[in-house]
Amino acid sequence: MLKDFEGIDIYVFDQLLRGRIHPGQVVLDAGCGNGRNINYMIQNGYHVMAFDRDERSLEQVRSLCAAVAPSLSEGIRLADADHIPFSDHSADVVMSIAVLHFAHDHGQFNAMFAELMRVLKPGGVFICRMASIHGMEKKAQDLGDGRFHLPDGTERYLCSENQLLDLTAKFGGTLLDPLKTTVVHGLRAMTTWVFQKGS
What SS3 string covers 31-48?
A: CCCCCCCCHHHHCCCCEE
Q: How would you class 158 by CB atoms within 10 Å of its CB: exposed for 0-12, middle for 13-18, buried for 19 or more?
A: buried
Kindly give the confidence (pLDDT) of every residue in the chain, 199 residues in length, as a single tens digit, with 9 standing for 90 and above: 556 798 999 999 999 999 999 999 999 999 999 999 999 999 998 999 999 999 999 999 999 999 999 999 999 999 999 999 999 999 999 999 999 999 999 999 999 999 999 999 999 999 999 999 999 999 999 999 999 999 999 999 999 999 999 999 999 999 999 999 999 999 999 999 999 999 8
Output b/e per residue, 113-125; b: 16+ Cβ within 10 A: bebbbebbbeebb
Q: What is the pTM of this model?
A: 0.96
Facing residues of 183 across strands? Answer: 189
Name the phi and psi angles at 188, rounded to 5.
-165, 165
The pairing of beta strand 180-184 with beta strand 188-196: antiparallel
Q: For the chain, what is the domain count?
A: 1
CATH classification at residue 89: 3.40.50.150
Domain that holds residue 176: 2-196
